[in-house]
Amino acid sequence: MPDLDHRQLEMLDKMGIDIWRLRQRDDDAADDDATADPAATVAETDDRAAAPAADDDRAAAPTVAEPNAPNAPNAPNTPNTLDTLDKVAMEINQCRRCQLHATRIKAVPGVGSVQAQWMFIGEAPGQNEDQQGLPFVGRAGQLLDAMIAALGMTREQVFIANVIKCRPPANRDPVPEEIAECEPYLHRQLALVKPKVIVALGRVSAQALLKTSESLGHLRGKVHQYGSSNTPLVITYHPAYLLRSPSQKAKSWADLLLARSVVDSAS
Ligand code: SF4
């Protein structure tokens, strides 16, 4: 395991990761991947933070103008040299390309630096995110912040987004049509940020990005590629799942170290 400074050790401690156990695993060269560990192949059934909530937390659909109707000339899959993260966010905030616009309170475009080397991508906003318009808030967000801090970065230095920008009702999984309508926004964000690595957080995000139904356990532990840019993609657990299954945190840390090795090799 690479040397860690005091602050990173503190963050790993806050993540609940046993440093000595990690070091012992490294020393013994006994670290395995999810495919060799039955515990890691347990499917995640709901990896977002908020439990299904009553639908009374939603306001009426926004009544803003509709610049992104299907077949509109400014369709969201048209990155160009004039594109900016702010422009993408503005279009997302006004988007009605799928049915989720009708039940959202706020769209959640994503946050972070256009110069980020790391892009973390979750599945979809939960209840807190829907209310605040920000990704990964609440306890899962705090754990993600601790994971990022353990890597020696802050939330402001990375880019955090979701595959789907509006909350599915009762936190259900997004359907393929919603993913297909929304993913071009992610493509534009990716084209602008040009990260050295994408970290997919959770089963649904991983499956949506890789267009697969393989289990998270089978997808972890290797470097995939995403999009026409072939951006390296590493899969790990969703922070909300880690809150429920803290024994998986060490594996998540191993995933982050794999992602860091990708960034380091590209530098
Ligand atoms: S989920 Fe995506 S495609 Fe659907 S309305 Fe929201 S921003 Fe538009």
The residues spanned by each domain of the chain are 6-37+59-266
Q: If we measure between CA atoms, which residue out of 164, 153, 147, 152 comes closest to residue 104?
A: 164
Mean pLDDT score, 192-208: 97
Mean pLDDT score, 200-226: 97
Q: What percent of the chain has pLDDT over 90?
A: 67
Mean pLDDT score, 54-79: 39
Helix (H) or strand (E) holding 80: none
Q: Is the CB of 98 under 6 A from ligand 1?
A: yes
Provide the pLDDT for residue 1.
53
Q: Is the CB of 183 under 6 A from ligand 1?
A: no
Provide the pLDDT for residue 34.
36
Quote the ligand 1 centre to 19 CA distance (angstroms).
41
**SS3 assignment, position 132:** helix
Provide the pLDDT for residue 37.
39
Rounded CA-CA distance 1/116 in Å is 24
pLDDT at 144 over 60: yes
Tokens 């801090």 belong to residue: 149
pTM of the model: 0.78
Mean pLDDT of the chain: 81
| DSSP 8-state code for residue 41 | G
Q: Name which residue leads in pLDDT, 8 or 125.
A: 125
Give the other-Cβ count within 10 Å of 170's Cβ.
Answer: 13
Provide the pLDDT for residue 267.
81
**Residue in 100, 130, 167, 179 to alter for ligand 1 test, most ligand atoms within 8 A of Cβ:** 100
Phi, psi (5° rounding) for residue 146?
-65, -40
43 touches 215 (CB < 8 A): yes
Provide the pLDDT for residue 179.
97
Q: Is the CB of 196 under 6 A from ligand 1?
A: no
Q: Name which residue leads in pLDDT, 65 or 150.
A: 150
Quote the ligand 1 centre to 104 CA distance (angstroms).
9
Q: Name which residue leads in pLDDT, 208 or 79.
A: 208
Rounded CA-CA distance 62/189 in Å is 23
User: 6-37+59-266: CATH homologous superfamily?
Assistant: Uracil-DNA glycosylase-like domain (3.40.470.10)
Provide the pLDDT for residue 31.
37
